[in-house]
Amino acid sequence: MTPREIRRKAGGAGFKLVWPDGKVGDFSSAYLRRNCRCAACQHELTGERLLDPASVPETLTIESSQIMGNYALAFHFSDGHSTGIYSFDWLRTLTEELVP
C-alpha cells in the first residue's frame, strides 16, 4: 500500500503518512531510527535487534529523506545513520502498531 500523503515534520522531527484508508502514521525521527531494519540494526538471519533503542536520543532528527521508487523512504539521521530503507509495507505495519 502506498501512502496518499507523505509530510516531513518541521525541523526534521519525523514524518506523517496518510494512508488511502485514512489511517495516519505519525512517526518521530527517534521512533523511525529505533525501528530501522538494516543489517547494522537488525541481524539479517535471526531478526535479532542489534541497535540498543536506549542509544537513540529523543532529540534525533532527520536531516534528509528520499523516496525510493514507488515502494519506500530512505532517511539520513542526525546521528549519521543512513543505510535503512523503510518500505511502505513496513511503515504501514508500524502505523498499525501505533493506531490499531
Mean pLDDT by groups of 10 residues along the chain of 100 residues: 96 97 97 96 95 97 96 98 96 90
What is the per-residue pLDDT for 98?
Answer: 87
To 5 degrees, how large is the angle CA 25–CA 74–CA 57?
70
Q: How far apart are CA 34 and CA 6, in angstroms?
A: 20
Q: Which of 77, 76, 71 is nearest to 91 (CA)?
A: 71
- Please check whether residue 12 is in contact with residue 62, taking contact to mean a CB–CB distance below 8 angstroms: yes
5-98 adopts what CATH topology? Answer: NE0471 N-terminal domain-like (3.30.2020)
Using DSSP's 3-state secondary structure scheme, residue 28 falls into: strand
- pTM: predicted TM-score of the whole model, two decimal places: 0.94
What is the per-residue pLDDT for 96?
Answer: 94
CA atoms lying within 13 Å on the CB side of residue 75: 29
Q: How far apart are CA 66 and CA 82, in angstroms?
A: 11
